[in-house]
Amino acid sequence: MPTGRTQEPVTSTVLRRLAAGTTLAAVVVACATLSGTPSTEPATRPAAQPAAAPAAVPATAPVQADGFGDPVVDRHVSDRAARTARTRQRQRPDSRAETTTPPPQTVASTSTKPAKKPAAAKRPRRAAAVPVAGPVDGSRVNIVTAYARAQVGKRYVRRGTGPNSFDCSGLTLAAYAQVGVTLPHFTGAQVTRGRAVGRAELQPGDLVFPHPGHVGVYVGGGQMVHASTPRGGVKLSAVYDFWTARRIL
């Protein structure tokens, strides 16, 4: 029976319900009812499955309305926005990437300067031998005095050093040579050897100088052996005068 409401075409109804998320079975039943064709589906309609949530639409995507007043999203705009988002995601640097700092490199020294040699230890200088007063070497003194006594009676000859003739410094030189002591053949030089002793300190073997130009060997008991003069020759006599004396041994 016709009513006052205009019946919409079946095709438009199908498209609109499919767009709204209605299942295909429900759309087939609705079409059969509208066309008067009995449906082969059971009377009990299964429960409608929940429609899948529509994809998120970018805020900038343009929205259009179809012939039924439902919004339609421009697929080209949506696809372009998705590709742009994926491109930015790939271009974004990975914040989890670890930055490794290369270890510091050791630079070998290229210096060509030779290594300094350690300073050689300085050798201590030997102190000069200083004659020290002490007991007289009896054995060597006896050799010196015995040699001097043995020359008594020999001639005095200027610059003579023995064995047959002597002058005063030549006699003392020859006497000390018997024990390995070298004396100069000059009275003024012999007075600088050994150490000075006083007359009261005289001991056998000392050089005794009655005056600056004469020297003899002290043999003890206040006596000395000396080459006196060309007339007197080598003789044993008392220490007739005293200027100085030197202890050699």
Phi then psi for residue 64, to 5 deg, are -120, 160
Spatial CB neighbours of 98, under 8 Å, sequence gap ≥ 6: none
The full set of domain ranges for the chain reads 10-42+60-86, 138-247
pLDDT digits (tens, 9 = 90+) for 215-224: 999 999 999 9
pLDDT bin (cut points 50, 70, 90) of residue 154 is very high
Higher pLDDT, 109 or 142: 142
Tokens of 119: 């300073």
Considering the chain, what percentage of its residues have pLDDT values greater than 70? Answer: 49
- List active site positions: 168, 214, 226
- How far is residue 94 from each of residues 22, 90, 98, 102, 198, measured CA to CA in Å? 44, 9, 9, 20, 111
Q: Does the pLDDT of residue 37 top 80, yes or no?
A: no
CATH numeric code, 138-247: 3.90.1720.10
Alpha-carbon distance of 203 to 22, in angstroms, equals: 155
Alpha-carbon distance of 13 to 249, in angstroms, equals: 155
Q: Which residue has the tokens 């790939």?
A: 90
- How far is residue 85 from each of residues 70, 79, 81, 82, 91, measured CA to CA in Å? 27, 10, 6, 5, 10
Please state whether the predicted TM-score (pTM) of the whole model is above 0.75. Answer: no
Q: Which pLDDT belongs to residue 120? A: 60
